[in-house]
Amino acid sequence: MLKIKDLNVHYGGIHALRGINIDVPKNKIVTLIGANGAGKSTTLRTIMGLVRGSKGKINYNDTDITNKETKEIVEMGAVLVPEGRRVFANLTVEENLTLGAYIRKDKSEIKKDMELVYKLFPRLAERKWQKAGTMSGGEQQMLAVGRALMTKPKLLMMDEPSLGLAPLIVKDIFEIIKEIHRQGVTILLIEQNAKAALEIADYGYVLETGSIVLEGEGNELLNNDEVQKAYLGETK
């Protein structure tokens, strides 16, 4: 579904991504793990057209999207849940979700999808008229995911969905990611909680200072000595 080939990104004099190659097959969960500053968020932002690559190609469903605008990419079915949630604080839950569907015209389908989001996140249904800025971090994360689902995505990209959340809420978020995947959505996940990410991922890539240093099936990376030492705080 998504193919990144020899992607390079520069921020001024900084070489942020150094010729990375990533494949995200349809109906799979793929994760990128790595330390802060490794280039994970830059990868997602470049896929979405928020950052321009200096070299390389990004193909989505056999279409070259390397230089496409973000709106076009969203219209094609690829959407990003950004790090830090970025909900519209002064708007209600329902208004945030409605904004998620701004590119759609199918009103009856939008209503159905709103109900599906509320079914997936009962807490949002209870708080539909509450202003997003007054909600807890976990609730805002659920809202950010729900808002992305309102675009009816084929590819859902998530940047640090568990960041700053309590362990119990993190567990809920990962259960929800698995449920979204079961509904036929392909997922590209960036996550500091490498163990939780690799446990649900079909395939994973390890990024270090802008380069992919390791890749393999989720289970394989979970049991890899180097990964355990560097990212899981474990040694065999």
Residue ranges per structural domain of the chain:
2-88+153-231
Yes or no: say if 205 and 214 are a contact pair by the CB < 8 Å rule: yes
Q: What is the pLDDT of residue 169?
A: 84
Q: How far, in whole angstroms, is CA 85 from its chain's centroid? A: 11
Spatial separation of the C-alpha atoms in residues 202 and 204, rounded to whole Å:
7
Q: What is the mean pLDDT of the chain?
A: 92
Q: What is the mean pLDDT of residues 118-123?
A: 92
- Residue 35 pLDDT level (bands cut at 50, 70, 90): confident
Query: Alpha helix locations (H) across 53-193?
Result: 70-75, 93-100, 107-120, 122-126, 137-149, 167-182
pLDDT at position 100: 92
Q: What is the pLDDT of residue 143?
A: 93
Q: Is the pLDDT assigned to residue 236 strictly greater than 50? A: no
Does the pLDDT value for residue 157 go beyond 50? yes
* Residue 219: partners with Cβ closer than 8 Å, 6 or more residues away: 198
Q: What is the mean pLDDT of residues 8-22?
A: 93
166, pLDDT greater than 90: no
Q: What is the CA radius of gyration of the chain?
A: 17
* Residue 13, helix vs strand vs coil: coil
Q: How confident is the model at residue 233 (pLDDT cuts 50, 70, 90)?
A: low
**Residue 37 reports pLDDT greater than 90:** no
3-class SS of residue 209: coil
**Mean pLDDT calculated for residue range 50-72:** 95
Q: Which fold has domain 2-88+153-231?
A: Rossmann fold (3.40.50)
